[in-house]
A and B are shown apart, each in its own frame.
Chain A
Amino acid sequence: MSWYTFVGALEQGFIFGLMSLGVYLTFRVLDFPDLSVDGSLPLGAAVCAAIITGGGDPYLSAGAAFLAGVLAGAFTGIISTKLRILNLLAGILTMIALYSINIRIMGAPNLSLLNQPTVFDRFQGLGIQGFAVPMAVVLVILIVLKICLDLFLQTRFGLAVRATGDNPAMVKAQGVNTDNTIIVGVSLSNGLVALSGALLAQAQGSADVGMGVGTIIAGLAAVIIGEAFVGGRSVFVATIGVILGSVVYRLVVAAALSFRFGPLSLAPSDLNLITALLVIVALTFPRVREKLKSRAFR
């Protein structure tokens, strides 16, 4: 793996790290498996691309993408809590609805951002290698938002959100409206995912309605790999784990892509298999660790 490819894997790991923080918030904190992310990632890209190609500011477009994601998440949260649609299904409904909406927003299934201004332009030539700029910029955004998320989860409301995932009955007994905690949690989550989509479109030079395929898998993989590394301790540590997981996931994909070892070489079609195996290993790893630990104490 070349240095360039390595930096690229970091860049993608950080961009998808934002998305993975969103998935962590729903999947782990709220215990709400939210599949709308496969639609809200391209939603963010679509909003961002439509604004930039329309002559808008790239920073503004990223902010608008975040808000669009919040709206999409709110929709999932509302139809799930108020209309009592099963959470898994609510996410799927939002996801398929967004497919049509995303094409509407862009006016086409694919919008090119090649030769358009991006949020990365301003930081070119500030002492970092040109191709590493997006990676560095995304890392800063990621750290800031990670800290914001950590702080949010420490607030009174944030604690109620966390408690909703752990024990909704207890939270209700305390007089907290779990519908609200779920709606806000899912909204924030999708805002992060859409922002990640906006940055991805700017880094990759285009927005495509098909770019959301596999988002939830990558997000879950990041969360689970992260837990395998750091374990599920405090929120502060867990969110570091999520980011780490996202980076490791991208490094493994990059490694799989450059894997060539004589007759052992992988076929291009093996990639999905490797991804699935990686997630399974990460899923079973904590359990194996527990077993080994309990044996050591005997």
Chain B
Amino acid sequence: MRTVLAILLCLLLCPLSGSITPASERTIHIGISQIVEHPALDATRKGFIEDLQDSGYKNINFNYKNAQNNRAVSGQIARTFVGDKVNLIFAISTPSSQDVAALTKEIPILFCAVTDPVAAGLVKSLEAPGGNVSGTTDRSPVAQQLDLIGKVLPAAKRLGTIYNAGETNSVSSVREIKAEAAKRGMSVVEATAASSSAVKMAVESLVGKVDFIHIPTDNTVVLAFESVVKVCRDNKIPLFAADVDSVSRGAIAALAVDYYRMGRQTGAMARRVLEGKAKISEMPVEFQKELLLYLNPRQAELMGVKLPDTLLKEAAKIIQ
């Protein structure tokens, strides 16, 4: 019987062994490693792929793998790409980028949706990465976000925020929120949620202690955004987000990086690398050039706020 299992295993493995040989020398192979399915991360991937396709690259082979939030699998994905000697690796998220960076010093790696590439050990500095890794950072424009909130709620002094203390990106965002809030004489009340089901309790803990709530780009909280909206509406607490998708889900306003465009921006970096126009070690980490302002006036009314007309004119999109 053991032979049967062995044969089954062989059947599983055999068709795979030959499947990844490069079809022709001209084909460009790009490995895409993503830690988990998530709208923002998916958008960067879409932007990256579409940028390259729109730029007239024909023989390009995108090999997309998702680790389903399992770090060991993410390591195996990195192995697969390095073993296949792909021409370039596009790594979406901090852990995915670290896993590929640990394995190769030769294959160019471009990351996306990494908030603090220096702390993550991916680059020596933002200006001069120094190795085979560069990319775009999604560091939130916290100062501009608080300025926006100041325009809507000039008197607000107590900022509430909710995040998962296990998400490295959120921890650095909150650190910056605290610094920027202090500059504006605001106090910050934090609540943490380790899973999306704990988000509602976290919001409830802020009720009565804060004048408004600002949510950073935290995967856990954004997954359960509806529960934040509900509590904020019930208690008339204005709710702001750091990603535009949350505005259609119930935030009053968001000034944010556009993950799709950030993917395209990274795609443009990839083209420069593939065409030999730039050395990755000398390519500075890029920030989002244009920010998007989304507003939701109806939601604002439900949370007891009126959005100023000047702001409505500036908005890239107004959710009706």
- Is the Cβ of A261 less than 8 Å from the Cβ of B65? no
A108 contacts which chain B residues (CB < 8 A)? Answer: 119, 168, 171
Docked Cα-Cα span, A248 to B83, in Å, equals 19
Docked Cα-Cα span, A157 to B75, in Å, equals 38
Docked Cα-Cα span, A208 to B19, in Å, equals 32
B280 to chain A, nearest CB (A): 16
Docked Cα-Cα span, A55 to B16, in Å, equals 43
B71 contacts which chain A residues (CB < 8 A)? Answer: 204, 208, 210-211, 213
A250 contacts which chain B residues (CB < 8 A)? Answer: 76
Docked Cα-Cα span, A153 to B258, in Å, equals 58
Q: Which one of A1, A8, A210 lies within 8 Å of B13 (CB-CB)?
A: A1
B266 contacts which chain A residues (CB < 8 A)? Answer: none
User: For the complex, is A200 an interface residue (Cβ under 8 Å from B)?
Assistant: yes
- Is the Cβ of B84 less than 8 Å from the Cβ of A114? no
B46 to chain A, nearest CB (A): 14
Docked Cα-Cα span, A130 to B119, in Å, equals 27
A172 contacts which chain B residues (CB < 8 A)? Answer: none
B196 contacts which chain A residues (CB < 8 A)? Answer: none
- Is the Cβ of B83 less than 8 Å from the Cβ of A110? no
- Is the Cβ of A258 less than 8 Å from the Cβ of B102? no
A263 to chain B, nearest CB (A): 13
- Is the Cβ of A268 less than 8 Å from the Cβ of B72? no
Also in contact, A257 and B19, with CB within 8 A (given A103-B166, A205-B99, A289-B1): no
B119 contacts which chain A residues (CB < 8 A)? Answer: 108, 112
Candidate in B9, B76, B80 with the most chain A CB atoms within 10 angstroms: B76
B256 contacts which chain A residues (CB < 8 A)? Answer: none
- Is the Cβ of A251 less than 8 Å from the Cβ of B13? yes
User: For the complex, is A9 an interface residue (Cβ under 8 Å from B)?
Assistant: yes
Docked Cα-Cα span, A257 to B68, in Å, equals 12
Docked Cα-Cα span, A112 to B95, in Å, equals 9
A251 to chain B, nearest CB (A): 7
User: For the complex, is B17 an interface residue (Cβ under 8 Å from A)?
Assistant: yes
User: For the complex, is A2 an interface residue (Cβ under 8 Å from B)?
Assistant: yes
- Is the Cβ of A110 less than 8 Å from the Cβ of B73? no
- CB within 8 Å of A: which B166-190 residues: 166-168, 171
B93 to chain A, nearest CB (A): 10
User: For the complex, is B70 an interface residue (Cβ under 8 Å from A)?
Assistant: yes
User: For the complex, is B276 an interface residue (Cβ under 8 Å from A)?
Assistant: no
User: For the complex, is B205 an interface residue (Cβ under 8 Å from A)?
Assistant: no
Q: Which one of A1, A200, A206, A214 lies within 8 Å of B16 (CB-CB)?
A: A1
User: For the complex, is B314 an interface residue (Cβ under 8 Å from A)?
Assistant: no
User: For the complex, is B101 an interface residue (Cβ under 8 Å from A)?
Assistant: yes
- Is the Cβ of A114 less than 8 Å from the Cβ of B122? yes
Residue of B nearest to A107 (CB): B171
B66 contacts which chain A residues (CB < 8 A)? Answer: 268-269, 271
**What are 25 of the A-B contact pairs (CB < 8 Å)?**
A2-B20, A4-B79, A5-B83, A6-B83, A100-B165, A103-B166, A109-B171, A110-B95, A112-B121, A112-B122, A114-B122, A205-B98, A208-B168, A210-B71, A211-B71, A211-B95, A251-B9, A255-B12, A257-B77, A258-B19, A259-B19, A260-B19, A269-B37, A269-B66, A288-B1
Report B's interface with A, CB cutoff 8 A.
Answer: 1-2, 5, 9, 12-13, 15-17, 19-20, 34, 37, 64-73, 75-77, 79-80, 82-85, 94-95, 98-99, 101-103, 119-122, 165-168, 171, 194
Report A's interface with B, CB cutoff 8 A.
Answer: 1-6, 8-9, 12, 16, 96, 99-100, 103, 108-110, 112-115, 131, 200, 203-206, 208-211, 213-214, 218, 228-229, 248, 250-255, 257-261, 268-269, 271-272, 285, 288-289, 292-293
The 7 closest A-B pairs by CB, nearest first: A205-B102, A112-B121, A4-B83, A8-B79, A268-B66, A2-B83, A5-B83
| Known contacts A248-B9, A252-B9, A269-B66; 18 further A-B pairs (Cβ under 8 A) | A2-B83, A99-B194, A109-B167, A110-B168, A112-B122, A113-B121, A205-B121, A208-B95, A214-B70, A218-B72, A253-B73, A254-B76, A255-B16, A257-B77, A258-B20, A260-B16, A269-B68, A293-B1
